[in-house]
Amino acid sequence: MPPGKVLQPVLKMKVDELFLCWLSERSTQAMLRDCLQRIKAPGWAGRGDGDAPGPGSDAPASASRLPAFEGLSAPAVTPGPAPASSALPLGAASSSRNGPHVRGTRRSTGTRVVQTKKEEPLPPASSQSIPAFYFPRGRPQGTVHIDTVIARIETAFAQFPHERATLEDMGRVAKACGCPLYWKGPLFYGAGGERTGCVSVHKFIAMWRKILQNCHDDAAKFVHLLMSPGSNYLVQEDFVPFLQDVVNTHPGLSFLKEASEFHSRYITTVIQRIFYTVNRSWSGRITCAELRKSTFLQNVALLEEEADINQLTEFFSYEHFYVIYCKFWELDTDHDLLIDPDDLARHNDHAISRKMVDRIFSGAVTRGKKVQKEGKISYADFVWFLISEEDKKNPTSIEYWFRCMDLDGDGVLSMYELEYFYEEQCRRLDNMAIEALPFQDCLCQMLDLVQPQQEGKITLHDLKKCKLANVFFDTFFNIEKYLDQEQREQLSLLRESESDGPELSAWEKYAAEEYDILVAEEAAGDPWNDGYEPELSPVDPKLRLQLDARPFLEASSALGAVDLYEYEGEDGPQLL
Ligand SMILES: [Ca+2]
Ligand SMILES: [Ca+2]
């Protein structure tokens, strides 16, 4: 397929939009402001930080400017000292500019690592050890010698027959490596374990030594373990073996063990949630920098500590999966795992306008080729839709709906685009014998709410800033939520939006409520439950209900069918 065909509208507009999106991120702005201030400040070139070159330094001004860009994913484009060669995207923390001997792994983006090739006296522990290259979550800090780690790994392997570890043994190896337990799958597959079913001590140590030498933080290591050779990012299928191991071994999913046909559904859901949250660039490729900025690895580490997987609401919750899947199942009446615009329109009792449903199928926010070919979206697409629909405040959701509303793809919502969507809302209100606000009045309200920087043009940045993006979006395409909002005062909406902090997100609230409803429906003998008597088992009745539900009995395909997006221009094998 020729480039530019899949994503609508045209590529340039997308690029502009992504640029705007990047530009509107708070961290970007903070960085730019910081740069500007330092440029303005007298004598800015020498200013700055503990690691600054000494008075005798003749480091060029550009070098001291470089560190401000740490955290961006493309350090290679900046001028300055030649990067040490490394295939790994060490975009942030442990700057690849520093050469192999100095591995500062401080994470703070404010840390300015200035070139150190002048052999200035450094604190001890530069070349012989690697400061804090793992133990990301509060283990004793300090330097760990590679050989010490290798010795620990050798000891672990000595317990296994012929010093070969199977996947079951990898938990102990992961611990010897100092990694969270659920890195065991990636460690096993990263060392080529899937080919022979086991990993020899030599092979493993060669692999891990290389990683220790090249990857200086958890994000880099994790990407290196999962990625396919030659790339430096993660695509969706890279997560499958890791998640399959979680499904097979996490105590909170043990009830799923026998129901292998649902493994792929759960895995699909988790992968979509990972990309939804972590892949902020919408590229379909998770880089080290994106992984590092996210909370994903903390969640992976929590898998070890939290036996109740439903507590991990960001990615792994089974209950969340259950809700999404059941919602899809209701719409997908013929159960071919695809839905068309008519199916989606039935979501939530036709709450979403037809114009918006059609936009979702336009390719603005989906990537599956089915959308283009057959006018259908997959379960993976539905995961994105449902989370965006129920939580219109998270950044991906705002981008999702912004893309849908930006009909001409010019990166702003103009008045004619708002009117296009509002027209249908008016018509529907009319049908319900409710008097709709004239467009001009509605527009005034919305402009008042969003307060765009430029008159008459609403940008992604404006919406992200305004804190009531949900009200804005629902006004234009969700009749039910719009009416619901109308009944509440704006003040109370604001109060809600301000008390966000540690509170549950709109998505988490929705998922919890819906889960309870679904369970109650099951318990009340929903027609779904006909004729199937599950074996009584020691599992929590709730869990039994989960297995009991019809979607889970009728799902046909097994593991191979993990439903993943295809990305244009991707070289690797494409699933489904
Ligand atoms: Ca269908
Ligand atoms: Ca536009």
Q: Of 155, 186, 154, give the one whose Cα is nearest residue 170.
A: 186
Ligand nearest to the CA of 330: 1
In a domain, 512, yes or no: no
Domain count, the chain: 3
DSSP state of 311: G
Q: State the distance from the centre of ligand 2 to the C-alpha of 447, rounded, in angstroms.
A: 16
Contacts of 26 (CB under 8 A, 6+ apart): none
Alpha-carbon span 550 to 491, nearest angstrom: 43
Ligand nearest to the CA of 328: 1
In a domain, 89, yes or no: no
pLDDT of residue 552: 47
Residue 112 CA, distance from chain mean position:
28
In a domain, 133, yes or no: no
Q: At residue 103, does pLDDT exceed 50?
A: no
Q: Of 382, 333, 338, give the one whose Cα is nearest residue 360.
A: 382
Region 327-340 average pLDDT: 95
Residues 472, 386 within the same domain: yes
Region 141-150 average pLDDT: 73
Residues 401, 374 within the same domain: yes
Alpha-carbon span 35 to 66, nearest angstrom: 10
Residue 364, domain CATH: 1.10.238.10
Ligand nearest to the CA of 460: 2
Ligand nearest to the CA of 456: 2
Q: State the distance from the centre of ligand 2 to the C-alpha of 8, rounded, in angstroms.
A: 13
In a domain, 156, yes or no: yes
40 burial via Cβ count (<10 Å: 0-12, 13-18, 19+): exposed
Region 158-186 average pLDDT: 97
Q: Which of 492, 512, 546 is at the close of a domain?
A: 492
Q: At residue 395, does pLDDT exceed 50?
A: yes
Residue 294, domain CATH: 1.10.238.220
The structure tokens listed for 384 are 């994105």
H, E, C per residue of 442-454 = HHHHHHHHHCCCE
The pTM (predicted TM-score) of the whole model is 0.70
Q: State the distance from the centre of ligand 2 to the C-alpha of 413, rounded, in angstroms.
A: 4
Question: Does residue 42 or residue 125 have the better pLDDT?
Answer: 42
Q: At residue 241, does pLDDT exceed 50?
A: yes
In a domain, 46, yes or no: no
Ligand nearest to the CA of 342: 1
In a domain, 118, yes or no: no
Residues 272, 299 within the same domain: yes
Nearest-10 crossing angle of helices 379-390, 395-405 = 100
Task: Tokens 């088992």: give the residue.
Answer: 537
Q: At residue 182, does pLDDT exceed 80?
A: yes
pLDDT of residue 238: 97
Alpha-carbon span 152 to 154, nearest angstrom: 5
Look at residue 25 and give its three-state secondary structure: coil
Q: State the distance from the centre of ligand 2 to the C-alpha of 289, rounded, in angstroms.
A: 30
Residues 361, 478 within the same domain: yes
Q: Locate all alpha helices (DSSP H) within 250-394, ordered by sequence.
A: 263-278, 288-293, 296-305, 318-331, 341-345, 354-360, 369-374, 379-390
Residues 403, 472 within the same domain: yes
**Residues measured by CB to lie within 5 Å of ligand 1, the ion:** 332, 334, 336, 338
- For residue range 482-500, list pLDDT tens digits in order: 999 888 766 666 666 666 5
Q: At residue 63, does pLDDT exceed 70?
A: no
**What range does the domain containing 407 cover?**
354-492
Alpha-carbon span 176 to 509, nearest angstrom: 39
Indicate the Cα dihedral angle 169, 171, 173, 176, nearest 10°. -150
In a domain, 371, yes or no: yes
The percent helix, strand, coil of the chain (3-state, each to 5) is 55, 5, 40
Ligand nearest to the CA of 409: 2
Nearest-10 crossing angle of helices 201-214, 218-226 = 130
Q: State the distance from the centre of ligand 2 to the C-alpha of 459, rounded, in angstroms.
A: 9
Q: Which of 291, 316, 341 is at the close of a domain?
A: 316
Q: Which of 214, 243, 261 is at the close of a domain?
A: 214
Q: State the distance from the centre of ligand 2 to the C-alpha of 415, rounded, in angstroms.
A: 9
pLDDT of residue 22: 83
Residues 452, 396 within the same domain: yes
Ligand nearest to the CA of 336: 1
Residue 200, domain CATH: 1.10.238.230
pLDDT of residue 424: 97
Alpha carbons within 13 angstroms on the beta-carbon side of residue 116 total 22
Q: State the distance from the centre of ligand 2 to the C-alpha of 546, rounded, in angstroms.
A: 43
Ligand nearest to the CA of 416: 2
Look at residue 48 and give its three-state secondary structure: coil
In a domain, 19, yes or no: no
Radius of gyration of the chain (CA): 26
Alpha-carbon span 570 to 469, nearest angstrom: 33
Ligand nearest to the CA of 405: 2
Region 206-212 average pLDDT: 94
**Residues measured by CB to lie within 5 Å of ligand 2, the ion:** 406, 408, 410
Q: State the distance from the centre of ligand 1 to the C-alpha of 465, rounded, in angstroms.
A: 38
Q: State the distance from the centre of ligand 1 to the C-alpha of 343, rounded, in angstroms.
A: 8
pLDDT of residue 302: 98
